[in-house]
Amino acid sequence: MKNKILLVDDKGEFRTLVKIFLSEKYEVETAEDGLQALKMLQSGYSPNLIVSDLMMPHIDGKTLLGQLNVSAIFNKIPIIILSSIDKSTERIELLKSGAKDFMVKPFNPVELEVRIGMILRN
């Protein structure tokens, strides 16, 4: 049985490309923002890991991370944050807030796959 990944990003083309790439190893569902992701989780979808963009409308990646951390049900789901913002202070803040990893866009999809595999093995 494949591990489940929830990919959260407001860019449709990005979601499609990453989903195609990751679907070889994982069962991938997508959400267009943090609000849709939370609705999916609350309706019973249970991913093994979430990959989320940082900058999105409605609920951004930072807020999504905070919402997951305060939930007794969802706080064990590891989350990787993706962002085009390459500020060390932002990365440090997100990692301290509970993100398991942070990747700067654009990135190599093979590197994302390796990082997902490492987190899921631990």
pTM of the full structure: 0.94
Hey, what are 19's tokens? Answer: 């989903």
Residue 1 has pLDDT above 90, yes or no: no
Nearest to 77 by CA among 29, 111, 41: 41
H helical segments located in 3-108: 12-22, 34-42, 61-69, 88-96
* CATH topology for the 4-121 domain: Rossmann fold (3.40.50)
**pLDDT tens readout for residues 4-52:** 999 999 999 999 999 999 999 999 999 999 999 999 999 999 999 999 9
Query: Among all chains, which residue has been given the structure tokens 């202070």?
Result: 89
Banded pLDDT at 85 (limits 50, 70, 90) = confident
